[in-house]
Amino acid sequence: MNRMHDIPAERQIEILTARLERSERALRDAETALEKRMTELFRANQDLSLRETELARRLEVESALLLGALSTIQMATLYGERERGFSFSASAASLFGLPPGEEMTIDKVAAVLHPLDHRRIMRETSAFFGELEPGTTREYEHRIVRPVDGETRWLSWSIARKKGDDARPGHLLATVRDITEERANERSVRALQLRAERRVRELAKLQAELAAAKGTVEETLGARNRFISEMAHAIRTPLLALSGGLELLETEVREEGVKDLAVARDAAEQLGEVASRLIEEAAAEGNDLSAPFGGGALPPVPQSPSGIPAQPHVLVAEDTESNRYVIERLLHDLGCTVVLVENGAAAVEAVRREHFDLVVMDVMMPIMNGEQATQTIRGLTGPAARTPIIGVTAHSLQSERERLLSSGMTACLAKPVRKEALETAIRTALISGRDVRKNQARFDHDLFRRTFGDLPAAYRGRMRDAAKKDITKYAGEVLAAVDSGDEEAFSRAAHSLTGVSLNIGATGIVEELALYREGRPGDEASIEPFREAVAACLLEIDDLYDALVPYDQ
């Protein structure tokens, strides 16, 4: 038994259950065999005069087998006939704990009954003999105190009354077996079950407490992140006006003041970077920051690619007056005509009423925010639904950008917006004339990582900016050559673009350019996949750089 306590509770249950099942099977087998044999013996007695010699031999053999089986399974039998008394099997004396050699009688059964069970068993026995009809069976259990060793054991009885020839009770057959081990096993199994149930309840309670604590922590973290996000928006909104104003002043002041303005603008940019990193660190537990939001900023484009309007007509939706002024001035400097509105609802009405080549949409606005306005515009009918929309947001989380792109925006810029970033975002959005998603871009990530990772940290950012600038330049030359039909210019530009693209692993551009050169059907639609590959590549480079290239220390 000590070894059983060393076994895990679940294994103990399995072992004890298996033992119980084996005991029950043995009991059923023994009871079946016993009843069959007793019936044969009874019939053999009736026909004893005809087959006395043969039956005596068989009775001796089969009785020996039966007694051996009864002894093995700790079982005894009782047989009684009317007016002839009771007789027990040889194993009964040992089962009831009588001294060796002492004969078992019905009176000795009553004598060894446990005091706590004596009255009940005598009452049930009396009822059995006095009330039950012949052909019925009674089963009951009780304890005994064995005279030979004083040990308390549990016994189980199965008693059947059979009819005689005259329809009166003829004889009685009974089996009695020791079930002490079975009951102990059952108690052990039940104790283990209760212990397991208690542990399950304790675990459920702990899980509920953990869930409640987790909810409290998540609520606290959510409140913290919302506060930081709102504060970043409050910082970045005036930063847009400050940085944009400084950038505009650079074109107006004399040469000696340019350096002072550059210092001021660098300070504003550093403040914006601090706000960005603060948000990213605050959201690190619940947001994917493996590709931090780079703002979609792209380098300036030296010439317009084919298909871009000479003077793009742009709608600006921005609720802050100073920011509207700065964005309007930047767009005018880029050669755009501008219409200004103060909220998303007004932007939707303007798009319904008038054609725009592009919409610059602030995300946080009253009445209807930029995300809602974008979804509404995408739900319109006709060409207006396909108008490129560049989002401007004070938030810098990657999850924010992914949500805005999913709402239908073509690209996203983070405040404060730089002139060159705005210019290239506009040109990139207009290259394909439709929504461009960054997941359309195809890159060889290993080559991209090696190209930048092998450079000194101080040169990686410069290499990235140069690559974006060259791709935009040579892609524009390719498109212009397609429009003009200049084969020589096309070959030069395609050769240069292929070299730059392969340097950084931009395989999508190279593949689409090769497909166009192989087909060259001559219609405008055939160049569209190339336009989209260039636009997708330019939108992807910054995020891929942040995700794959080691941080510049």
Q: Is 206 domain-assigned?
A: no
- The number of distinct structural domains making up the chain is 3
Instruction: Give the β-pairing of 389-393 and 358-362.
Output: parallel
The phi, psi pair for 164, rounded to 5°, reads -90, -175
Residues 177 and 222 in one domain: no
Q: What is the dihedral of CA 174, 175, 178, 179, to 10 degrees?
A: -90
Q: Is 216 domain-assigned?
A: yes
Mean pLDDT of 355-382: 91
Q: Is 94 domain-assigned?
A: yes
Residues 418 and 321 in one domain: yes
Name the domain boundary from 419, 435, 451: 435
Q: Which pLDDT score is estimated for 390?
A: 92
Instruction: Give the β-pairing of 169-178 and 313-317.
Output: unpaired
Q: Which pLDDT score is estimated for 50?
A: 67
Cβ burial 436-469 (10 Å sphere, 16+ → b, else e):
bebebbbbbeeebbebbeeeeeeebeebbbebbb
Task: Indicate the pLDDT class of residue 175, thresholds 50, 70 and 90.
Answer: confident
Name the domain boundary from 154, 187, 220: 187
Q: Is 192 domain-assigned?
A: no
Residues 303 and 252 in one domain: yes
Residues 50 and 163 in one domain: yes
Name the domain boundary from 131, 153, 187: 187
Q: What is the CATH number of the domain that holds 134?
A: 3.30.450.20
Name the least confident of 102-116, 215-229, 383-397. 215-229
Q: Which pLDDT score is estimated for 286?
A: 47
Most confident among 143-152, 247-256, 262-271, 278-287 (mean pLDDT): 143-152
- List residues bridging with 450 in a β-sheet: none
Question: Angle between the 48-72 and 9-46 helix axes, to the nearest 10 degrees?
Answer: 170
Residue 526 has pLDDT above 50, yes or no: yes
Mean pLDDT of 260-281: 59
Q: Cα angle at 426 between 425 and 431, to 5 degrees?
A: 100
CB neighbourhood size of 352 (10 A) = 12
Instruction: Provide CB contacts within 8 A for 232, sequence distance 6+.
Output: 275, 276, 278, 279, 394, 395, 396
For the chain, give me the number of helices (H) and strands (E)? 18, 10
Reported in sequence order, the residue ranges of 311-377 that DSSP labels E, i.e. its strands, are: 313-317, 337-341, 358-362
Q: What is the CATH number of the domain that holds 249?
A: 3.40.50.2300
Task: Indicate the pLDDT class of residue 553, thresholds 50, 70 and 90.
Answer: very low
Q: What is the mean pLDDT of the chain?
A: 77
Residues 335 and 228 in one domain: yes
CB neighbourhood size of 552 (10 A) = 11
163, containing H or E segment: strand 152-163
Q: Which pLDDT score is estimated for 309?
A: 63
Range of the domain at 522: 440-553
Residues 424 and 468 in one domain: no
Which residue is it, tokens 């103990």? 12
Residues 402 and 453 in one domain: no
Residues 149 and 216 in one domain: no
C-beta separation of 293 from 400 below 8 A: yes
Residues 122 and 259 in one domain: no
Q: pLDDT tens digit string along 420-443?
A: 778 877 877 776 554 555 446 788
Q: Is 197 domain-assigned?
A: no
d(CA 107, CA 93): 12
What sign does the dihedral 481-486-487-488 (CA atoms) show? Answer: negative
What pTM did the predictor assign? Answer: 0.41
Residues 427 and 450 in one domain: no
Name the least confident of 5-9, 10-14, 91-95, 212-216. 5-9
Task: Indicate the pLDDT class of residue 271, thresholds 50, 70 and 90.
Answer: low
Residues 427 and 455 in one domain: no
Could you tell me the CA-to-CA distances from 431 to 236, 425, 457, 504, 538 in Å, in that order? 29, 10, 32, 21, 11
Tokens of 66: 């039966």
Residues 431 and 448 in one domain: no
